[in-house]
Each structure stands twice: as C-alpha cells, then as structure tokens.
Amino acid sequence: MVVAGGLVEALQAAPLLGTLRVADPASTITLMAAPPVRQVASGLPGIDEVVTLAALGPGTPRLDRWLAALLALRRRRLEAVLLCSARAADRTLAYASGVARRAGLDGGPSAVLLTARVAADADENRAEAFLRLAGALGIEDRLHRPEYDPGEAARRSAEERLVGSGFEDGRLLVAVAPGAGFADPIPGTPAWTLAWDPERFAHLANQLGTRHGAGVVVLGTADDRAAADGMLDDLDAPALDLCAALALDEAAAVIERCDLLISGESPLLHLAAAVGTPAIGLYGPTDGATRGPYGPRNRVVQGVPETAPGRASGPLMRRIRVDDVLAGIELPV
C-alpha cells in the first residue's frame, strides 16, 4: 500500500489497512509512506513492514527521491499495489515498478497507468475513497472505522499525567490543540492560515467549563507554545498544560482518555477518531469534508468565504465563530 502525503493521509488509510488484514490474515502488507508516518506506523492495524520514502511526502517529488522509491518497490515481490494517491508521479511509480495489479483512485490522464480504478467523489472523506480500493482485490466486507493503538507504554504515561494531576476525577475532559498539533506542511497553504485565534479557543473552553464543568487538556508541540500560552492567558476553566510534553503516541493515549478533542487541521483529529474519542475539526483554507476525521461521531466546522458582492472575506478561519463550534458540540448527532 502506497500512501502519499503525511500523517493525515496515513491515518485516513487506517480503515483500508484494517479491512485488508481481516479479509486475508495470511497476507503480507507493506506500507510505503513519507518518513513522518513512522511515528504512528506501529499503532496502525495490519502492517507487516513499513518503508518510509521521501518521494511520498507532500508536493512534487525530486527525481532522485522518486528513483529511490522505484528501487524500493522493485526490490520487493509484490502481487498488488494499492495507491492511496491521485498524483501522476505515484501512478508512474507503480507502473514502472512492474507490479501487475495496480489499483488507485480514478481521475486525470495518468489513471490509464492503473489496472483498476475506483471512483472518488470530490466532496467525500478520503478515508471512504481509500477504503473503496479494497474492492479492487475482491474484498466487499469493509471496516468503516479507523483504528490506532497507542500502546501500553503510552497509555501508562497518559494515566500518570491525568491521574497525577487530579484531572481524571469524573469531570468532562476536553482536549484542545490550539496550534498546528503535529501537522505536516501543506503545499501552497501557509501554516498561519490554518490557525484559529488562541483567544477564541480560550473563550470556547471557558464556555464548556461554565456550561458543562469541563476541564481542558492543552496539547501540541514545541512549535505550538505561543498559541498555547495565548490560550492559557485567557483561560478560566481548569487546565492541564501538556503542550510540548508528549510524543505523538502519548498524545493519542491522552486523547483516548478524554471525552472530546477540538483542533484545527491536524493529525490529532484522526488519532481521536481512531481511538474512539469524538472530534471537532476546524477548517478554513483546506476542505474538512475530504480531510476531516472519519466517522459519524466526528464533526467538521468549515470557514466559508464572504459571499456579499464587493466584500473581502479575510482569513477563512476567522469566519468560524465560537458559537458555531459550540453548536457542533452541543447539538445531538
């Protein structure tokens, strides 16, 4: 299985991985993906081998990296390649590898290089589109749920953090990632355009504290420190600051013990869906319908442009109001 992109795309491929393993327990599944995916590969279902290739990262691959990926494919005895990608470079890679069965998403002239093509609707979650690739191998029973196992060491670390701080005392626990939250760069989309204001995260958390007695667990990396501090400055609800304190598997284990995660575009949304915690994703310049967390318990709040003639819309994330997010949380599914 070849997954192009970053952590988000690899986590969106989790339902397909689980489906392949259940359908054929004796098969050998090799996951080829970008180097950051190694952070989550051990927790994804059904993988026998992980091969990280720089050519599969975001953007157009350099020729030397593409040739290295081709060599990695040709060295292995593969009966089929499933492409979780619609890039021409990846289709060409599969074709040049000589693997007889090459299944991928339909669309574009380079789709002729595939031996099997599946439809991918423009407005559907990519996890659903990737899952449809199982049909190219004759697999009709599919697992429509993501899976991720943080591991027992990460779970022990999460328990120590939450119980040791007195936070896991029965109150509603809401995990909030006010920064990028382990996100990979998205070509053509500056990171600042994906951010919601820290003050709005704080106001939202304060509303959840007042209405529901919620405690807030702040998550993120060292790069999110400024956003986390901006949120904490205006936060009145009880808070546990774990920003820059956790590896990605530990963050997943903390989210597993929470009742809800709220974040902008981030792999954390997909980890939440995969460990069974409902997630609210805030999206502006990227499409939450295709990139959002997969599953009926998760919701997307999408910033949309101003439609009035002659008016500039400004940053799309600023179009998302606190009340919009509260409605996504409090309205019944």
Residue extents of the structural domains in the chain? 2-137, 152-330
Neighbours of 107 (CB within 10 A): 12
Contact 222, 179 (CB under 8 A): no
Helices (H), 24-151: 38-41, 63-74, 88-97, 126-131
Kindly state the tokens that stand for 185. Answer: 């760069």
The predicted pLDDT at position 330 comes to: 86
d(CA 241, CA 245): 8
Regions of the chain where pLDDT drops below 70: 307-314, 332-333
Task: State how beta strands 80-84 and 2-3 pair.
Answer: parallel
pTM of the predicted model, to two decimals? 0.94
- Sheet with 260-264, edge to edge strand ranges: 239-241, 215-218, 173-177, 260-264, 279-283, 299-302
d(CA 243, CA 233): 14
The predicted pLDDT at position 258 comes to: 97
The predicted pLDDT at position 313 comes to: 55
Contact 2, 10 (CB under 8 A): no
The predicted pLDDT at position 310 comes to: 55
Q: What CATH class is the domain 152-330?
A: alpha beta
The predicted pLDDT at position 308 comes to: 58
The predicted pLDDT at position 184 comes to: 85
Same fold flag, 2-137 and 152-330: yes
Backbone dihedral angles phi then psi of residue 173, each to the nearest 5 degrees? -110, 120
HSE-up of 112 (CA within 13 Å, CB side)? 2
The CATH number given to 2-137 is 3.40.50.2000
Non-local CB neighbours of 174 within 8 Å, separated by 6+ positions: 205, 208, 214, 215, 216, 217, 258, 259, 260, 261, 262
